[in-house]
Amino acid sequence: MAEDSTYESMLCVKPEVHVYRIPPRASNRGYAADWKLDEPAWSGRLKITAKDKKAFIKLEDRNTELYAQAPVEQYPGITVEAVTDSSRYFVIRIEDGTRHAFIGLGFADRGDSFDFNVALQDHFWVKQEGDLAKLEASQSSAPKLDLSFKEGQTIKISIGNIKKKDVGGAKPRPLGGGLLPPPPGGKAGGGVLPPPGGLQTVPAAQPSTPLLDLGSPVAAAQPSSDMWGDFTSAGS
């Protein structure tokens, strides 16, 4: 069933409040000490009612006749502001059709001013919670964004400062007896590379001259024709 917008609920009732004329100033927030607190302009009863999302501060006399009314659409706001030097006094903005004025509102008891403040805070806090609930409900009913990958869809990520690897896979190891590849900048080919680790290669053994060649005949030593020649010369 649709909500009846004409229904008005009661939030707070205080039997005694006072209204003061306030001097003009640049800001609504002022000092209650500047008011003539011992000479209120009006005294009567205060009621706070709520209709839909808006609250109303109503000032009535003893016969429930309306003296002034202040529609409140936001709290804290410009319609109701506390003074700087007391917690029992407020500045409210009353309206009468197209006209509006700022008046001072005071409570005889500090507990009444506390109830006045809490009643407005609770109403607008509940209203904010209701607005948030409606917002969440509207977001939940809205179609959700589908971020999943479709069939066959891929994603490409580009990362800088990384060298591409060879397509062929790992580099082939050098063949042979542990020879290292040529150093950078060296000429390709043209000679055998030095062995690793500073080791020197041993040259292949050269064939040595045989001490005795049995294959070739050697002339035998011929004895001297005069076996005693040396002795003969020595004797002479």
Examine residue 30 and state whether it is found in any structural domain, yes or no. Answer: yes
**Domain assignment of residue 135, given as a range:** 8-140
Three-state DSSP class for residue 78? coil
pLDDT at 212: 46
Full pLDDT tens readout for the chain, 236 residues: 445 556 889 999 999 999 999 887 655 556 777 888 899 999 999 999 999 889 999 999 988 899 999 999 988 888 999 888 889 999 999 998 889 999 999 998 999 999 999 999 999 887 665 555 555 655 565 566 666 767 777 777 777 666 655 555 556 665 555 556 666 665 555 555 555 555 555 555 555 555 445 455 545 455 555 555 555 555 54
What is the CATH classification number for the domain harbouring 103? 2.30.29.30
Asked whether residue 72 is domain-assigned, the answer is yes
Q: Answer whether residue 110 is part of any domain.
A: yes
The predicted model scores a pTM of 0.53
> Of 90, 89, 93, 113, which Cα lies nearest the Cα of 102?
93
**Which is nearest to 90 in space by CA: 81, 98, 99?**
81
So what's the pLDDT on residue 141? Answer: 59
Question: Residue 1 has what pLDDT?
Answer: 42
Task: State how far Cα 50 lies from the chain centre.
Answer: 42
Sheet holding 99-107, edge to edge: 66-72, 54-60, 42-51, 9-20, 99-107, 89-96, 80-82
Torsion of CA 208, 210, 215, 220, to 10 degrees: 140
Residue 152 lies in a domain: no
Q: What is the pLDDT, as a whole number, of residue 189?
A: 52
Among residues 93, 110, 88, the alpha carbon closest in space to that of 32 is found at 88
Beta bridge partners of 57: 48, 70
What SS3 state is found at 16?
Answer: strand
Torsion 188-194-196-198 (CA) sign? negative
Domain count, the chain: 1
